[in-house]
């Protein structure tokens, strides 16, 4: 993009989040524009389509109060960029990177394009350092590793914010004391949720190594398209330039996708499912794939996006496409929440694809994989039996089945429902698992090798 | 040969002044000369899909025609390489341009400086037709045959002597009937959207042995066959594809990571050089070509990636090799088509996919097959294609899954419920199918034993029975079932737990040789038969289930392949004794 800045007042159409300017001729695709309203207010926009006669522009601050007479548009000749420097740590910005904490502008260290560039797949280092979150359902059965993108699939009214904040507070890497940072990107969250996170960060002292970008529910919706990119640009700088281990929390991806849909609908594009654009998979990938590690660089980016599933429907396009891109998912369950279980993680549909590389001897503990598989097998069987019992009652069950039911109840109450207090270490999580597995005779534990059963099942027998 | 850009919208660019340009011609768009392909023509306006990020391109910038369609480079040096969707070498790009992909890279797919030891086979004066072997070079442990290219025919005017040559050096000249002399190098180009020719298609009969029990023994695929692996996210499509890429007994593997995760490719790159091929003992990477166009890389190059992959597969097929191609995931390829189609404002078909989705899918899978290659050698080669499908919401009624099922002959349906219970591979044994069992029966008779087909039938019948009984159990509980039904449930449990579940992460169980599969089937079917006789003789299922031999069956999979024979015989003896059979049972 080499063209110098040009200014036009030829706005010919304003519709929804879009604006059409005529007679531009050389607007570059993706170029940033500065829109000056009749009252002097300035807003940012970006070229979505460029033709020899017109340019279609999405206006991030919304199109309210634009006119087709006085409104002027300055084409900057630049892509969307932001300023990064070590000073961004501890700062709070709005959804388009303007300071929102009363502080001044960031003193430039480096100016970077917020869309980023794809990491060359051959440069990626495979993630394999286990992050201990202190939460048994995650550490024991869906282990998070450094450089992973692991979303939380939630629903309205479920405690996803509390869980995300708890993970941010407790997360540590085993046997490691390295510099870490938190980047929080909020899209369309309520004032209350925003305050919850800010309080949490302030109280725990996390704010000084956090960068916060907040687009609130009442901020312009189209701005949400850039907020996660700002957050990830900051994260990439901290991770790959400064060598920090960065945990990125993005909430709420569903609000982000709704902004995409709004722009797509305004352009009369052919929709895919439920009105969402056909390129949503590609677009989400351009956000989620900005996680990982790189050979020869010290830092890493771990993403913890939060997705609220409309009507708790995991097949809704947003969680569905997300699940195909991310490396697993943590699914919260309304049933468990109603039962008073915290954290209400339903482990059956939850998954960490990178778990096997981060656990086992030398990393966590030799019995980790087997224990996790065994818990899964037993709990899945228990849940099947529970639905059976509602029909035929417990009398019809064999003794082995009754053992499984007893296990299932205790598993939900004790292992998953560890409460809001502090976390468990990975060792404590695995020991808690063995306490439950002792309900079974050793030969029924067919997912664990006999040697490990010998070693752990009899250890500190009750 | 220069046009001018008049419109840019995402990966699609329009240019005028393009009269005379060809459909699917390759162009360089914009001042940065981004690679693109013409996908539509109207008067002098060409519609171009651009294989790189178009940010910053403005109307008025030039478009240069190349006069040639999108092609790949073929020659020695492909094996072990990692390419993007349009065959740019990702490792070379990383060395030259850094950890992040910068657009505008134009690096050759094959190293121009590397030399190969060429051994001539043809002689000057000999007849040269397409497919005639000119000579060979060693590519790792493979004999890379240099063939007379398509469209070249006559007699050899010269053939280079043994020695070191680069892919650009002339290694032969062919004197055509018209009297012109055509120089031949080891480097070939072939347009990716055109299948490479062959003499005839043959009926496949050898199974592609994958070392995965549920595949080889229940739903086999043949060398030259096609299979689809659909499943919702988290069901284990990628692990299945990785397992096949690692352990299947094809000579060459082409793995296309089409619109998938960057870390998955990193995983392959971490594992494949370290793992060794169970048959040759050499690193798996030495027989593999990786095409990696991850989800965040340009969408148009993702559309091209499957064609790039299959053209490379056909090239090795033409040398007489058995090649297997894994495409993960064909849904991302279809979505790339949809995205481009949407930008073209085409009338959409089902779910917004273009109307030509079915014909593109069929055209791709039809490039699989076992063939007799061109030329006097008459040798046979094959391309097997295994495509992963990612149906939205796990709903198999969606267009990509349905249109794929119309053309493939094996269907491995992945099941979310199985995956949730950590039953892997989560291939559902009731809904999956293979149309090849009759074709491979001969192979199994020769390499396993005569009973393969009967045992397979018996085991599947028991699982089928379990499926039917489950509904009844849900209504009335298991207690009221007659003993023979209880036995079916018990044996079905053993089949599932000890045979169908196979851990990809267990160092032994990850690959199960066919002989071991056969023996496992024998133990289980014998157990089922003995059990049936015992029940008929008045023993209860509870009593049978408590025999220690049932626990022995559960550990068959992870038993070291070398020690297996002994364990198998011991189990057989113990089983015979437990059921009161004569010593040794059968041998």
The pLDDT, as a whole number, for residue B582 is 56
Q: What is the pLDDT of residues B30-56, one digit of tens each?
A: 999 999 999 999 999 999 999 988 999
* Residues of B with Cβ-Cβ distance to A351 under 8 angstroms: 234, 419
What's the Rg (C-alpha) of chain B? Answer: 27
Q: Number of Cβ pairs closer than 8 Å across A and B?
A: 225
The pLDDT, as a whole number, for residue A248 is 96
Q: What percent of chain B has pLDDT over 70?
A: 99
Q: What percent of chain A has pLDDT over 70?
A: 98
Q: What is the pLDDT of residues A275-302, one digit of tens each?
A: 999 889 999 999 999 999 999 999 999 9
pLDDT above 80: residue A241 = yes
Sign of the Cα torsion A114, A117, A123, A127 reads positive
> Across chain B, how many H-helices and E-strands are there?
16, 26
What's the CA gap between B209 and A66, in Å, rounded? 66
pLDDT above 50: residue A462 = no
Tokens of A431: 């020991």
Closest CA of chain A from B189, distance in Å: 25
Question: Which of B60, B259, B555 has the CB atom closest to A26's CB atom?
Answer: B60
How far from the centroid of its chain's Cα atoms is residue B555's Cα?
A: 30
From residue A361, how far is each of A313, A357, A365, A434, B271 by CA, in Å? 38, 11, 5, 17, 18
pLDDT above 70: residue A3 = no
Q: What percent of chain A has pLDDT over 90?
A: 77
CB contact under 8 A, A52 and B266: no
pLDDT above 50: residue A67 = yes
Closest CA of chain A from B28, distance in Å: 17
pLDDT above 50: residue A461 = no
The pLDDT, as a whole number, for residue A460 is 58
How far from the centroid of its chain's Cα atoms is residue A315's Cα?
A: 18
On whether the B116-186 domain is CATH 3.40.50.720, my answer is no
What's the Rg (C-alpha) of chain A? Answer: 25
CB contact under 8 A, A124 and B262: yes
CB contact under 8 A, A29 and B294: no
**CATH 3.40.50.300 residue ranges in chain B?**
74-97+198-446
Q: What is the pLDDT of residues B438-485, one digit of tens each?
A: 999 999 999 988 999 999 999 999 999 999 998 888 788 777 889 999
CB contact under 8 A, A285 and B263: no
On whether the B448-578 domain is CATH 1.10.1140.10, my answer is yes
* Residues of B with Cβ-Cβ distance to A30 under 8 angstroms: 54-56
Closest CA of chain B from A369, distance in Å: 10
Q: For residue B478, what is the DSSP state?
A: G
* pTM for the whole structure: 0.93
- Cβ-in-10-Å burial (0-12, 13-18, 19+) of A309 comes to buried
Average pLDDT of every residue of chain B: 92
What's the CA gap between B518 and B162, in Å, rounded? 47
* Residues of B with Cβ-Cβ distance to A356 under 8 angstroms: 505
From residue A446, how far is each of A26, A373, A459, B558, B565 by CA, in Å? 68, 10, 18, 11, 22
The pLDDT, as a whole number, for residue A176 is 65
Q: Are the C-beta atoms of residues A54 and B8 closer than 8 Å to each other?
A: no
Its CATH architecture, for the domain B74-97+198-446, is: 3-Layer(aba) Sandwich (3.40)
CB contact under 8 A, A27 and B59: yes
Residue B572 neighbours by CB distance under 10 Å: 21
Question: Which of A118, A320, A348 has the CB atom closest to B420's CB atom?
Answer: A348
The pLDDT, as a whole number, for residue B583 is 45
**CATH 2.40.50.100 residue ranges in chain B?**
116-186
Tokens of B407: 């053309």
Q: What is the pLDDT of residues A303-359, one digit of tens each?
A: 999 999 999 999 999 999 999 999 999 999 999 999 999 999 999 999 999 998 899
* Residues of B with Cβ-Cβ distance to A372 under 8 angstroms: 422
CB contact under 8 A, B7 and A49: yes
What's the CA gap between B209 and B222, in Å, rounded? 8
The pLDDT, as a whole number, for residue B350 is 86
State the maximum Cα–Cα separation within chain A, in Å, rounded to a whole number. Answer: 82
A27, A28, A29, A453, best to mutate vs chain B, most B CBs in 10 Å: A29
Q: Which residues lie closer than 8 Å to A407 by C-beta, 6 or more apart?
A: A378, A379, A382, A436, A439, A440
Closest CA of chain A from B9, distance in Å: 5
For B12, name the nearest residue in chain A, comparing CA atoms only.
A49
Q: Are the C-beta atoms of residues A209 and A89 closer than 8 Å to each other?
A: yes
The pLDDT, as a whole number, for residue A175 is 61
Question: Which of A117, A269, A391 has the CB atom closest to B100's CB atom?
Answer: A117
The pLDDT, as a whole number, for residue B103 is 84
Tokens of B465: 């029975």
**Alpha-carbon dihedral A270, A276, A278, A283, rounded to 10 degrees:** 140
Residue A38 — pLDDT band, cuts 50, 70, 90?
very high
The DSSP string of B519-573 is: HHHHHHHHHHHHHHHHHHTT--HHHHHTSHHHHHHHTSTTS-TTTHHHHHHHHHH
pLDDT above 50: residue B584 = no
For A319, name the nearest residue in chain B, comparing CA atoms only.
B393
Q: What is the pLDDT of residues A361-419, one digit of tens each?
A: 999 999 999 999 999 999 999 998 998 888 878 877 888 889 999 999 999 999 999 99
- The owner of tokens 């708790």 is A312
Instruction: Give me the helices (H) in B219-329, please.
Output: 237-247, 262-271, 299-317
β pairing state of B163-165 and A92-94: unpaired
**CATH 1.10.1140.10 residue ranges in chain B?**
448-578
Q: What is the pLDDT of residues B368-406, one digit of tens each?
A: 999 999 999 899 999 999 999 999 888 999 999 999 999
Encode chain A in three state secondary structure.
CCCCCEEECCEEEEECCEEEEECCCCCCCCCEEEEECCCCCEEEEEEEEEECCEEEEEECCCCCCCCCCCCEEEECCCCCEEEECHHHCCCEEECCCCECCCCCCCCCCEEEECCCCCECHHHEECCCCEEECCCHHHHCCCCEECCCECCEEECCCCCHHHHHHHHHHHCEECCCCCCEEEEEEEEEECHHHHHHHHHHHHHCCHHHHEEEEEEECCCCCHHHHCHHHHHHHHHHHHHHHCCCEEEEEEECHHHHHHHHHHHHHHCCCCECCCCCECCHHHHHHHHHCCCEEECCCCCEEEEEEEEECHHHCCCCHHHHHHHHHCCEEEEECHHHHHCCCCCCEEEEEEEECCHHHHCCCCCCCCCHHHHHHHHHHHHHHHHHHHHHHHHHCHHHCCHHHHHHHHHHHHHHHHHHCCCCCCCCCHHHHHHHHHHHHCCCCHHHCCCCCHHHHHHHHCCCCC
The pLDDT, as a whole number, for residue B585 is 41
In what side-by-side order are the strands of the sheet with B154-159? B127-128, B154-159, B170-175, B181-185
Please work out, in degrees rounded to the nearest 5, the angle formed at the alpha carbon of residue B233 by the alpha carbons of B230 and B239: 70
Comparing CA positions, the residue from A116, A218, A22, A400 lying closest to residue B100 is A116
Q: For residue B269, what is the DSSP state?
A: H
What's the CA gap between B195 and B364, in Å, rounded? 9
SS3 B64: strand
Closest CA of chain A from B103, distance in Å: 9
**CATH 2.40.30.20 residue ranges in chain B?**
2-69
- Cβ-in-10-Å burial (0-12, 13-18, 19+) of B584 comes to exposed
- The owner of tokens 């891109």 is A325
CB contact under 8 A, A269 and B342: yes
Tokens of B119: 């051994």
The pLDDT, as a whole number, for residue B79 is 97
B6, B32, B55, best to mutate vs chain A, most A CBs in 10 Å: B55
* CATH fold label, B2-69: Elongation Factor Tu (Ef-tu); domain 3 (2.40.30)
Q: Are the C-beta atoms of residues B459 and B451 closer than 8 Å to each other?
A: no
The DSSP string of B491-504 is: HHHHIIIIII---T
What's the CA gap between B167 and B81, in Å, rounded? 16
* Residues of B with Cβ-Cβ distance to A117 under 8 angstroms: 100-102
């Amino acid at each position: 993009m080499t063209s110098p800045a040009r200014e036009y007042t030829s706005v010919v159409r304003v519709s929804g989040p879009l604006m059409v300017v005529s007679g531009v001729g050389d607007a570059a695709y993706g170029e940033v524009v500065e829109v000056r309203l009749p009252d002097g207010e300035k807003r940012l926009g970006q070229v979505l389509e460029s033709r020899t006669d017109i340019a279609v522009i999405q206006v991030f601050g919304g199109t309210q109060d634009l006119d087709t007479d006085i409104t002027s548009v300055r084409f900057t000749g630049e892509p969307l960029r932001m300023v990064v420097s070590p000073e961004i740590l501890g700062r709070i910005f709005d959804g388009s990177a303007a300071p929102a904490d009363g502080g001044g502008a960031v003193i430039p260290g480096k100016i970077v394009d917020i869309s980023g560039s794809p990491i060359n797949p051959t440069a990626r280092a495979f993630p394999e350092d286990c992050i201990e979150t202190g939460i048994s359902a995650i550490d024991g059965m869906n282990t998070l590793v450094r450089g992973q993108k692991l979303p939380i699939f939630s629903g309205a009214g479920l405690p996803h914010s509390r869980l995300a904040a708890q993970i941010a507070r407790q997360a540590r890497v085993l046997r490691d004391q390295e510099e870490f940072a938190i980047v929080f990107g909020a899209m369309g969250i309520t004032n209350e949720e925003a305050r919850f996170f800010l309080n949490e960060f302030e109280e725990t002292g996390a704010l000084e190594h956090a960068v916060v970008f907040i687009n609130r529910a009442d901020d312009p919706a189209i701005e949400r398209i850039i907020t996660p990119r700002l957050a990830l640009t900051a994260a990439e700088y901290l991770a790959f330039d400064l060598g920090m281990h960065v945990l990125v929390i993005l909430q709420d991806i569903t609000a982000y996708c709704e902004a995409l849909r709004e722009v797509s609908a305004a352009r009369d594009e052919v929709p895919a499912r439920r009105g969402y654009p056909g390129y949503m998979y590609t677009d989400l990938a351009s956000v989620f794939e900005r996680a990982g590690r790189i050979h020869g660089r010290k830092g890493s980016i771990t993403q913890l996006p939060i997705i609220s599933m409309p009507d708790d429907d995991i097949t809704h396009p947003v969680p569905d496409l997300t699940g195909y891109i991310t490396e697993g998912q943590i699914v919260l369950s309304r049933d468990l929440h109603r039962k008073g279980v915290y954290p209400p993680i339903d482990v059956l549909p939850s998954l960490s694809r990178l778990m096997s590389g981060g656990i086992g001897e030398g990393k966590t503990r030799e019995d980790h994989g087997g224990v996790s598989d065994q818990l899964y097998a037993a709990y899945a069987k228990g849940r099947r039996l529970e639905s059976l019992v509602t029909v035929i009652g417990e009398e019809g069950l064999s003794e082995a089945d009754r053992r499984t039911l007893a296990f299932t109840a205790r598993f939900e109450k004790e292992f998953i429902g560890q409460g809001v207090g502090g976390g468990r270490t990975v060792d404590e999580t695995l020991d808690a698992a063995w306490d439950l597995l002792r309900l079974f005779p050793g030969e029924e534990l067919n997912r664990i090798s006999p040697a490990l059963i010998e070693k752990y099942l009899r250890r500190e027998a009750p | 040969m220069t046009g001018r850009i008049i419109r840019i919208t995402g990966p699609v660019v329009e240019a005028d002044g393009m009269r005379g340009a060809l459909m699917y011609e390759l162009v360089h768009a914009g001042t940065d000369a981004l690679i693109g392909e013409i996908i539509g023509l109207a008067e002098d306006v060409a519609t171009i899909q651009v294989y790189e990020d178009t940010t910053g391109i403005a109307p008025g910038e030039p478009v240069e025609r190349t006069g040639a369609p999108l092609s790949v480079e073929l020659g020695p040096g492909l094996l072990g390489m990692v390419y993007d969707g349009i065959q740019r070498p990702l490792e070379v790009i990383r060395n030259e341009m850094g950890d992040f992909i910068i657009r505008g890279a134009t690096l050759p797919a094959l190293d121009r400086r590397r030399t190969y030891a060429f051994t001539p086979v043809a002689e000057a004066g000999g007849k040269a037709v397409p497919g005639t072997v000119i000579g060979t070079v060693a590519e790792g442990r493979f004999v890379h045959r240099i063939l007379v290219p398509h469209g070249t025919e006559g007699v050899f005017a010269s053939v280079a002597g043994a020695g070191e040559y680069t892919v650009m050096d002339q290694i032969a000249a062919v004197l055509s009937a018209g009297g012109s002399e055509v120089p031949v190098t080891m480097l070939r180009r072939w347009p990716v959207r055109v299948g490479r020719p062959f003499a005839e298609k043959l009926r496949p009969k050898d199974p592609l042995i994958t070392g995965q029990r549920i595949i080889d023994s229940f739903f086999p695929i043949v060398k030259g066959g096609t299979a689809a692996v659909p499943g919702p996210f988290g069901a284990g499509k990628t692990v299945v594809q990785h397992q096949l890429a690692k352990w299947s007994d094809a000579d060459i593997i082409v793995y296309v990571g089409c619109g998938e995760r960057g870390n998955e490719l990193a995983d392959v790159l971490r594992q494949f050089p370290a793992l060794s091929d169970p048959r040759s003992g050499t690193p798996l990477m030495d027989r593999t070509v990786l095409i990696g166009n991850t989800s965040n890389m340009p969408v148009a190059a993702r559309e091209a990636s499957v064609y790039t992959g299959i053209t490379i597969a056909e090239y090795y097929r033409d040398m007489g090799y058995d090649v297997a191609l894994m495409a993960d995931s064909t849904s991302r390829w279809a979505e790339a088509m949809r995205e481009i189609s949407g930008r073209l404002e085409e009338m959409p078909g089902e779910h917004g996919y273009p109307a030509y989705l079915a014909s593109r899918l069929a055209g791709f899978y039809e490039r699989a097959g076992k063939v007799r290659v061109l030329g006097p050698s008459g040798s046979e080669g094959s391309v097997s294609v295994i495509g992963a499908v990612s149906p939205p919401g796990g709903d198999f009624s969606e267009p990509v899954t349905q249109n794929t099922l119309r053309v493939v002959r094996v269907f491995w349906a992945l099941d979310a419920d199985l995956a949730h219970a950590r039953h892997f591979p989560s291939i559902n044994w009731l809904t999956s199918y293979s149309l090849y069992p009759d074709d491979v029966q001969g192979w199994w008779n020769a390499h396993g034993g005569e009973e393969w087909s009967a045992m397979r039938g018996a085991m599947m019948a028991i699982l089928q029975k379990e499926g039917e009984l489950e509904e009844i159990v849900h209504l009335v509980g298991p207690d009221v079932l007659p003993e023979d039904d209880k036995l079916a449930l018990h044996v079905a449990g053993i089949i599932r737990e000890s045979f169908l579940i196979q851990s990809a992460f267990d160092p032994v169980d990850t690959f199960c040789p066919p002989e071991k599969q056969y023996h496992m089937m024998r133990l289980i079917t014998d157990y089922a038969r003995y059990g049936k006789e015992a029940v008929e003789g008045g023993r209860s299922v509870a009593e049978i289930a408590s025999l220690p031999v049932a626990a022995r069956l559960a550990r068959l999979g992870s038993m070291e392949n070398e020690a297996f024979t002994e364990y198998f015989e011991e189990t057989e003896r113990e089983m015979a004794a437990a059921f009161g059979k004569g010593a040794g049972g059968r041998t």
